[in-house]
């Protein structure tokens, strides 16, 4: 049996406290037995003096390209890539060019358009560039409720039927697997997501932990999907395992000195 683990790259932002972003992705990869490497796209520092507002500094696009080059060259094969927070058009340009150059076999896109209420990346131009340039390169996309509505071009999603419809519309944009997340936000008492691959339309539902979304849950889900795909799972199998990882990571999760709970992947047993 080979002792070499599959390798996953995350192209994502740093969230210094460790609750989300690349830090969360690397912990999730490790927890699932996958070797992780990371190319940082931006540095996010939550501000304790201003209601935990997200201070956001983009990384120079050439430095993003250099990091991806280092990862792609050091490792003889990257099995899967997760793309997280991009946030600016120059960043999207750099990541688009790198995805074209290296042709990674699997790309999971967590289309971070908004960061728990912080609208720093929510400009129309950035949303459009993400939809037009990065989305068609994705093997799977994992939008939350707001991101699903934005990508699907609908006003608002308030029901399971509307979420299913949005998943189909996003599929029609050219991405073969869609995992559209509602979490606890449809008031079902469950954490509910919809998987669609052009034929199978599955509702993935587990008991919700509390009624609030959790900081880092979306990053954990997409990173776990990436790790499972790197290990050879089918997209639906990867989505099912990823939900189990999230459920373990939010129960009980971490409670620090911020007004929301954040994830801890270490309690998941694989
Ligand atoms: N309170 C919760 N209990 C259990 N699972 C949750 C909870 N909140 C979110 N999830 C799950 O975490 C994942 C991320 O969902 P969500 O919070 O909507 O995404 P994002 O972090 O991108 O905004 C989804 O699989 C969702 O169902
Ligand atoms: C760098 C970074 N990436 C991604 C996210 C999104 O995190 P979540 O998993 O909570 O959607 C955040 C939110 O703070 C972030 O700071």
pLDDT digits (tens, 9 = 90+) for 13-43: 999 999 999 999 999 999 999 999 999 999 9
Question: Does 151 fall in a domain?
Answer: yes
Residue 215 CA: nearest ligand 2 atom is 10
CA of 163 to the centre of ligand 2 (A): 22
Q: What interface predicted TM-score (ipTM) does this complex get?
A: 0.98
**For residue 126, what pLDDT band results from cuts at 50, 70 and 90?**
confident
Domain that holds residue 25: 7-255
> Given this model, what pLDDT does residue 115 score?
55
- The whole-number pLDDT of residue 2 equals 60
- Domain presence at residue 157: yes
In a domain, 269, yes or no: no
Q: Does any domain span residue 46? A: yes
Report the residue among 28, 191, 192 best suited for mutation to probe ligand 1: largest number of ligand atoms under 8 A from its CB. Answer: 191
Q: Is the pLDDT of residue 1 over 70?
A: no
199 CA to centre of ligand 2 in angstroms:
30
For position 236, which CATH number holds? 3.40.1190.20
Q: Does residue 260 form part of some domain? A: no
Residue 248 domain flag = yes
58 touches ligand 2 (CB under 6 Å): no
Give the contacts of 155 (CB within 8 A, at least 6 positions apart): 149
Answer yes or no: is 263 within a domain: no
178 within domain boundaries = yes
User: Could you tell me the end-to-end alpha-carbon distance of the chain, in angstroms, rounded to an integer?
Assistant: 18
**Pocket perturbation via mutation, ligand 1, pick of 189, 246, 248 by most ligand atoms within 8 A of CB:** 246
- For residue 233, which of 35, 34, 11, 10 has the smallest C-alpha distance? 34
Report the domain count for the chain: 1
């Amino acid at each position: 049996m080979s002792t070499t683990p599959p390798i996953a790259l995350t192209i994502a932002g740093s969230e210094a406290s460790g609750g989300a972003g690349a830090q969360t992705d690397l912990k999730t990869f490790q927890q699932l037995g996958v070797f992780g490497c990371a190319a940082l796209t931006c540095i996010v520092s939550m501000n304790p003096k201003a209601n935990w507002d997200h201070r956001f500094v983009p990384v120079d696009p050439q430095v993003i390209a250099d990091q991806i080059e280092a990862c792609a060259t050091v490792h003889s094969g990257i099995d899967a890539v997760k793309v997280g927070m991009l946030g600016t058009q120059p960043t999207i340009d750099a990541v688009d060019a790198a995805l074209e150059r290296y042709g990674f076999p699997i790309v999971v896109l967590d289309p971070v358009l908004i960061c728990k209420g912080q609208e720093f990346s929510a400009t129309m131009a950035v949303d459009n560039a993400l939809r037009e340039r990065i989305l068609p390169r994705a093997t799977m996309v994992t939008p939350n409720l707001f991101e699903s509505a934005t990508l699907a071009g609908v006003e608002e999603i308030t029901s399971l039927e509307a979420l299913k419809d949005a998943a189909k519309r996003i599929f029609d944009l050219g991405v073969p697997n869609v995992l559209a997340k509602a979490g606890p936000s449809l008031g079902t008492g469950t954490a509910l997501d919809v998987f669609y691959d052009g034929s199978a339309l599955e509702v993935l539902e587990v008991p919700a932990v509390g009624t609030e979304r959790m900081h880092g849950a979306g990053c954990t889900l997409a990173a776990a999907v990436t790790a499972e795909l790197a290990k050879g799972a089918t997209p639906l199998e990867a989505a099912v395992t990823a939900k189990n990882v999230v459920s373990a990571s939010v129960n009980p999760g971490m409670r620090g000195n911020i007004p929301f709970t954040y994830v801890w992947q270490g309690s998941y047993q694989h």
